[in-house]
Amino acid sequence: MRVRVLSTALLIACISVVLGVFTGQSPDIIVYRAGVSGVVVAILAAGLELLLKQQFTSPDDDDLDIPMR
């Protein structure tokens, strides 16, 4: 899963660079935006991975065998 997170972050950074070059921005702004967007996507994807892993591994209340009174 880490490879998928890193490749997604790299893809977003590449798209940011292409859009920055296409719109004629200065190179320092292009690098800054690509770096920030790559880091943000990596953090969000890692957090989502942890959240989903916790969600699918924790038992639900419906799965517990508690007798109804």
> Which position has the higher pLDDT, 58 or 38?
38
Contact 39, 9 (CB under 8 A): yes
Q: List the chain domain ranges.
A: 2-55
Contact 33, 22 (CB under 8 A): no
Whole-number Å distance between alpha carbons of 50 and 58: 12
56 backbone dihedrals φ, ψ, rounded to 5°: -85, -10
User: Over the stretch 19-51, which tens digit does the pLDDT of each residue have?
Assistant: 989 999 898 988 898 889 888 888 888 888 888
- pTM here is 0.61
Pair of tokens at residue 5? 């997170």
Contact 49, 9 (CB under 8 A): no
